[in-house]
Amino acid sequence: MTSDFTAGGFRRERTSAADQVLADLRTKILSGELAKGSRLPSERELSAYYDVSGPTVREAIRALSAMSLVDVRHGSGSYVVAESSALMHSAMTAVVELESIDLVSILDLSETLYQQVVSLAVEVASDDELAAFRESMEAVQRNSDGPTLPEPLRDFLLALVALSHNRLLTAMSSYLIETQIAIVRTSTSSEPDLARRVAGNLQAQRAAIVDALEARDRDAASAAIEEYMARGRELVRKNKLARKDLVLQRERA
């Protein structure tokens, strides 16, 4: 699908010109009319098409960039990116900051999503995927008492949600996982022993999740997720990983 940006081809209404340009380009991107990876027309071409000034076009492009819909490359132009994970990250970050959401609340939501993930995974995950998931769990177990923990833990959680084969669940969970990992990185860099105290105490629960999924036992997988998340929340509270660490990692991002 391609879009025709012939000069004068756009009819504007009596509202903000930049808002109208933004809304139309956003619609074209989200509908696929402007494909991911494609280059937007030049500022001059967009100005002619929308019958607006260059600054108006630039204002709309800046807004699209802030929405993670386009990537502005100086000297090259603006390109459609529209990554679902980036869009989810932008929206959920705003909610977290506006509502002063703490880490425990993020874990509460994560548990709800993980429960749906394992419910789907027992039916749709392949044996090869489950074997790879076990390998990711074993990598976390080997690194649970050291500074190398964040990446294996991230891989384990992302592998878990990927087992659902559900793109919306994956996109939503990805933001929550990246937020948790950012906190782990921040906290373990200033307090190296934290990895052992928190992640090291969850080895049995992670193994139980893998075992239940390999057995295709939905009830056991659900119970394993519930225990893993409950234990995780307990350790977060015990080690005082809550709002302070969430704010700190946001400031460093």
Q: What distances in angstroms separate CA 22 from CA 25, 67, 79, 101, 203, one per listed residue? A: 5, 11, 15, 30, 48
- pLDDT string in tens for the chain (253-residue length): 567 777 666 666 545 889 999 999 988 988 888 988 899 999 999 999 999 999 999 999 999 988 888 999 988 899 998 776 666 766 677 666 666 777 778 888 999 999 999 999 999 999 999 999 999 999 998 887 667 788 899 999 999 999 999 988 988 888 888 888 877 777 666 666 766 666 667 889 999 999 999 999 999 999 999 999 998 888 777 766 654 444 444 444 4
* 217 within domain boundaries: yes
* 100 within domain boundaries: yes
The per-residue pLDDT for 180 is 80
Both 77 and 63 in one domain: the answer is: yes
Both 104 and 159 in one domain: the answer is: yes
* 226 within domain boundaries: yes
Both 74 and 168 in one domain: the answer is: no
* 4 within domain boundaries: no
**Domain range spanning residue 71?**
17-82
The per-residue pLDDT for 250 is 45
Both 217 and 115 in one domain: the answer is: yes
The per-residue pLDDT for 156 is 95
The per-residue pLDDT for 244 is 46
* 227 within domain boundaries: yes
The per-residue pLDDT for 54 is 93
Both 69 and 25 in one domain: the answer is: yes
Domain end, chosen from 67, 82, 97, is at 82
* 3 within domain boundaries: no
pTM to 2 decimal places: 0.68
Both 50 and 94 in one domain: the answer is: no
* 72 within domain boundaries: yes
* 55 within domain boundaries: yes
Both 54 and 155 in one domain: the answer is: no
Give the CATH number, domain containing residue 28: 1.10.10.10
Both 205 and 228 in one domain: the answer is: yes
The domain tally of the chain equals 2
Give the CATH number, domain containing residue 221: 1.20.120.530
